[in-house]
Amino acid sequence: MSFVVAIDGPAAAGKGTISKAVAAHFGFAHLDTGLLYRAVGAKVIAGAEPIVAARALDPVDLENERLRTPAVAQAASEVAVIEEVRAALVAFQRSFAARADGAVLDGRDIGTVICPEADVKLFVTASAECRAERRFQELSDKGTDTTFETVLADVKQRDARDQSRAASPLIPADDAILLDTSDLTAAEAVAAAIKVVEAAR
Ligand code: C5P
């Protein structure tokens, strides 16, 4: 049986950094499930129909730096409300989780819907202002022309859509451990997550 770590939480809470570090530390595979929705969102921007795009999704579609833009993030959260889109992406995520060497999956519904039997469930949060500040820094470092206010509005809009949708809303699993990274450095957040996984091994 694979050892599965589910890491959920809102946009820019630190899930990506934590997931990559946990996977590297334990030698587990890592799947950023947001990329699946971003890949579908990018295809929709290019004119595809969402359900058709989700059903035809190929893993090579995920290796694309252009999926990391705010426009694609918005498109991703719009397609993510469609139940058939979500359903089309379940099998890929579950088979990834079944990898014998252990797997870390991060997203919004890993602990609640995709892997309800995960060995460890972490729900990573931070205030909207902290998350927007981090995302703003990231985008600015990449040379994206934006403002803190735009990024904050974008983060809040995606949070609201992710939390209020009927299909697999963003919500902590009953047995998830909450990790608020607002006042933690990346290194501190990673150390806290590794400790939780270590305790469950
Ligand atoms: O995590 P990331 O910001 O890349 O996700 C983009 C969007 O994809 C989210 O705002 C959310 O709407 C959707 N998503 C989802 N379920 C997941 C991962 C992402 O609904 N497991």
Ligand 1 centroid to residue 164 C-alpha, Å: 13
CB of 33 shorter than 6 A to ligand 1: yes
pLDDT mean across residues, the chain: 96
CATH number of the domain encompassing residue 196: 3.40.50.300
Q: Whose CA is nearest to atom 16 of ligand 1?
A: 108
Largest CA distance in the chain: 47
Q: 69: annotated binding-site residue? A: no
- Ligand 1 atom closest to Cα of residue 93: 21
- Bin 22: left if φ > 0, else alpha if -120 < ψ < 50, else beta: alpha
- Ligand 1 atom closest to Cα of residue 73: 6
How many domains would you assign to the chain? 1
pLDDT band at 65; cut points 50, 70, 90: confident
CB of 76 shorter than 6 A to ligand 1: yes
Q: Percent of the chain beyond pLDDT 70?
A: 100
Is the reported ipTM for this assembly greater than 0.90?
Answer: yes
Ligand 1 centroid to residue 73 C-alpha, Å: 8
The whole domain housing 150 covers 4-200
Alpha carbon distance 192, 176 (integer Å)? 14
